[in-house]
Amino acid sequence: MKLSLLLFAVGLLMILLQTTFLHFFPVVPDLILVLCVYWGLHHPTVGAVLGLFVLGYSVDVVSSPILGINAFAMSLVFLAVYLSSRSIWLHSPLVSAVVVLLASLIKGCALVLVWALFLSTEGFWMGAIRYILLEALVAALLAPVVFALLRRGQAYVEKAHIPGL
């Protein structure tokens, strides 16, 4: 419960960062996706599923012209990470980067699918491929750092005694 609340709060902070400070970079790093992978691998619960759905929906509220795109993508990525979590052993930062890269590609494909179904695809495909690859690379590069920070936060929360939780 404590950990889920911490990760959800971190998710909200990440959305705030993505809409303000990180927007000055050419590609906005998809920190929510990295969080999604971490959450799916280290603390998969029903609360995590709902938390990520709400975070995805929140990204839609501040970004997308149509609601539900990111909520859909996040739920799908979480499912994929959860189903493959038993065969993933995160023994090095490189592995976490590869896992996030693959998760980002899954998210990209989900976005393309939804976009093709609900939005105009005119002049879409080349740009979509570029964004999928760039986002995946940036997320993979950031994954080891974000994972290390989240692991530290998790260790701190698990040790700390918070009354009522």
Partner 1 sequence: MLAFFRKYQIPLSCCFCVLLSLYILTAAARGQIKKDPIGPLFLWLMRPLQIVAHSTTSWIKDIQQSYFTVAGYKAENERLRKRIVQLEVERNRFLEADATNQRLQKLLDFRSHLPSRSITASIIGNSASNWFQSCLIDKGSADGVRKGMSVVTPLGVVGRVVDAAARSAKVLLLTDPNSGIDVMVQRTRARGIVSGSLENGTVMKYVKRTEDIQVGDRLLTSGLDGVFLKGLMVGTVNKVRKQSVGLFQVIEVMPAVSPAQTEVVLVVNAQRSAAKVTAPSGPGLR
> Are residues 42 and 30 in contact, defined by beta-carbon separation less than 8 angstroms?
no
**How many angstroms from the chain centroid is the CA of residue 45?**
16
Binding of partner 1 at residue 130 (CB under 8 A)? yes
Tokens of 16: 């705030």
Cα–Cα distance list, 157 to 36, 86, 153, 161 (Å): 18, 24, 6, 8
Binding of partner 1 at residue 62 (CB under 8 A)? yes
> Are residues 87 and 74 in contact, defined by beta-carbon separation less than 8 angstroms?
no
Binding of partner 1 at residue 141 (CB under 8 A)? no
The residue from 20, 86, 87, 164 that contacts partner 1 (CB under 8 A) is: 20
> Are residues 13 and 149 in contact, defined by beta-carbon separation less than 8 angstroms?
no
Binding of partner 1 at residue 114 (CB under 8 A)? yes
Segment interacting with partner 1 (CB under 8 A) among 2-10, 12-20, 91-99, 146-154: 12-20
CB of residue 25 to partner 1, shortest distance in Å: 10
Nearer to partner 1, 134 or 157 (CB): 134
Per-position DSSP letters for 130-159, written without gaps between them:
HHHHHHHHHHHHHHHHHHHHHHHHHHHHHH
Can you give the binding site for partner 1, defined by CB under 8 A?
A: 15-21, 23-24, 27-28, 30, 32, 44-46, 49-50, 52-54, 56-59, 61-72, 75-76, 78-79, 82-83, 111, 114-115, 118-120, 122-128, 130-131, 134-135
